[in-house]
Amino acid sequence: MENQKTDVVIVGSGVAGLYCALNLPRDKNILMITKEDVESSDSFLAQGGICVLRDDSDYDSFMEDTLKAGHYKNRRESVDIMIRSSRETIQDLIQYGVEFTKENGKEVYTREGAHSKPRILFHEDITGKEITSKLLTQVKKLDNVTIMEYCTMVDLICQNNRCAGILVRDKEGHFFTIEACYTLLACGGVGGLYKHSTNFRHLTGDALAICLKHKIELEHIDYVQIHPTTLYSTKPGRRFLISESVRGEGALLYNKNGERFANELLPRDALTKEIRKQMAIDQMPYVHLSMVPLGKETILNHFPNIYQHCLEEGYDVTKEPIPVVPAQHYFMGGIHVDAFSKTTMDMLYAAGETSCNGVHGANRLASNSLLESLVFAKRAAQQMTEQFPESMEQLPEHIQFNKLVGSLNMKEYNDVELLQQQYKTMILEEMEREKNSDE
């Protein structure tokens, strides 16, 4: 089997993977693999925006909003790190060419559900595309980074609790290995495991199953967020998100009789409950959301993508309400990591939605995830940089990589469908187990 050797292998090309690559030393070789094409990551889909600490006077309120939304199950230390690193992160993004929406030459801040103040920067309603495409452009300029598309990590290669690389399957079904000093898992969420989700279908939590297999600690993998408002559709595939900032700007929810039934700015989990209750009362598969109160100008300026998408689905949001329904959206739990995104396995890091550093607690506050992914991906890069060994041979647990690869039972991986099903079952069973142990 072919082997590629590199200093760092990054699994995933969303914001976490890209930003980590940008923060690693230029004299280290980095291989980045991604399951589909490089633009098919949830990072490209983010609509609403990215939080920032506007000034120090907002620290307590930003902290409290994050903790309250998370049902106080958050790791306070991680929230503190995220908030304090937010301005530096935004400055980095601006330097990389990211443009946030401005009025009279000044950045505009919006507000979403459960935020007590406007503290969210955005780029129309395609903030994720703006940020991720600019980071990707920067990464593509780097001579030390190679991106390999349509390559799926199917396992870690590890021994005695030390990660030495990964096993990969390419588009043609060929297997190869990547031997690396450090491995970063930046594999995103778990929406692909659900029938209705806003996530890309190929995000199936592979890294979680692989970690379970190797007894790498996971945390709160039953913490799954349902977004209250996605466009109702009977078509198969990904659900289209109607961003929370639409409600932050004044959109209203109605039952089938045209009556309001909930505070539109409740945290996501609480509003989801209200909507589901109303759907049961109405005996309808959706409720209505009206963007009409925002006015045509705000809709066209702030939400052009939502306007266009709804128009293509037959709804003119400047004139009429749209049917909305809750759907799986975000994963707060994940691979347990410390404040530097280090997992419980040596030489193995995890960042972004696949990891759990405790920022979001039991429920994520809107627009905190792009920020959290970026902040903790950079911290992983910083720690790797500081601790880079002179050579892999110098590591205390020297691994004979070829011998380890030779001992792999390739029959386990040959049937792609079966492997995917096994990984899915492992995750769902673990989620169930964790849920029951919480109760």
Ligand X SMILES: Cc1cc2nc3c(=O)[nH]c(=O)nc-3n(C[C@H](O)[C@H](O)[C@H](O)COP(=O)(O)OP(=O)(O)OC[C@H]3O[C@@H](n4cnc5c(N)ncnc54)[C@H](O)[C@@H]3O)c2cc1C
What are the catalytic residues? 268
Q: Measured from the CB of residue 281, what is the shortest distance to ligand X in angstroms?
A: 28
**Would you say 229 or 290 has its CB closer to ligand X?**
229
- C-beta separation of 249 from 202 below 8 A: no
36 binds ligand X (CB under 6 A): yes
Map residues 286-325 to x or -, x wherever contact with ligand X holds by CB under 6 A: ----------------------------------------
**Would you say 63 or 284 has its CB closer to ligand X?**
63
| Amino acid residing at 183 | T
**Would you say 229 or 368 has its CB closer to ligand X?**
368
- Any idea how long the chain is? 439
**Would you say 45 or 257 has its CB closer to ligand X?**
45
d(CA 230, CA 169): 33
**Would you say 43 or 89 has its CB closer to ligand X?**
43
Map residues 325-354 to x or -, x wherever contact with ligand X holds by CB under 6 A: -----x---------------------xxx
Among 325, 370, 419, 427, binds ligand X (CB under 6 A): 370
Neighbours of 110 (CB within 10 A): 21
d(CA 424, CA 430): 10
- C-beta separation of 139 from 145 below 8 A: yes
**Would you say 46 or 79 has its CB closer to ligand X?**
46
**Would you say 400 or 414 has its CB closer to ligand X?**
414
357 binds ligand X (CB under 6 A): no
86 binds ligand X (CB under 6 A): no
70 binds ligand X (CB under 6 A): no
3-state secondary structure of 220: coil
Question: Which range touches ligand X (CB under 6 A), out of 14-22, 216-224, 268-276, 430-438?
Answer: 14-22
For residue 319, give both structure tokens: 């004139």
Q: Measured from the CB of residue 75, what is the shortest distance to ligand X in angstroms?
A: 17
Among 7, 42, 155, 179, binds ligand X (CB under 6 A): 42
d(CA 19, CA 16): 5
Map residues 126-165 to x or -, x wherever contact with ligand X holds by CB under 6 A: -xx-----------------------xx------------
* Residue labelled with tokens 């598969």: 285
- C-beta separation of 119 from 2 below 8 A: no
DSSP 238: P
The neighbouring-strand residues paired with 110 are 120
DSSP 40: -
For residue 374, give both structure tokens: 């970026």
Question: Which range touches ligand X (CB under 6 A), out of 35-43, 67-75, 95-103, 215-223?
Answer: 35-43
> End-to-end alpha-carbon separation of the chain, Å?
47
Strand blocks (E) in 111-171:
120-121, 145-148, 152-159, 162-169
Among 41, 85, 183, 328, binds ligand X (CB under 6 A): 41
Among 21, 30, 43, 136, binds ligand X (CB under 6 A): 43
Among 187, 218, 246, 419, binds ligand X (CB under 6 A): 187
Q: Measured from the CB of residue 325, what is the shortest distance to ligand X in angstroms?
A: 14
- Listed residue (235, 225, 230) closest to 324, CA to CA: 230
**Would you say 138 or 255 has its CB closer to ligand X?**
138
d(CA 359, CA 341): 12
198 binds ligand X (CB under 6 A): yes
Q: Measured from the CB of residue 239, what is the shortest distance to ligand X in angstroms?
A: 8
d(CA 329, CA 40): 16
Q: Measured from the CB of residue 35, what is the shortest distance to ligand X in angstroms?
A: 4
Among 8, 9, 10, 11, binds ligand X (CB under 6 A): 11
- C-beta separation of 321 from 289 below 8 A: yes
In b/e form, how buried is each residue of 312-341, taking b as 16+ CB within 10 angstroms?
eeebebbeebbbbbbbbbbbbbbbbbbebb
Across the chain, which distance is largest between two alpha carbons, in Å?
71
Among 369, 375, 379, 381, binds ligand X (CB under 6 A): 369
Among 10, 14, 306, 384, binds ligand X (CB under 6 A): 14
3-state secondary structure of 369: helix
Residues forming the site for ligand X (CB under 6 A): 11-17, 33-36, 41-43, 45-50, 127-128, 152-153, 186-189, 198-199, 203, 206, 241, 330, 352-354, 367-370, 373
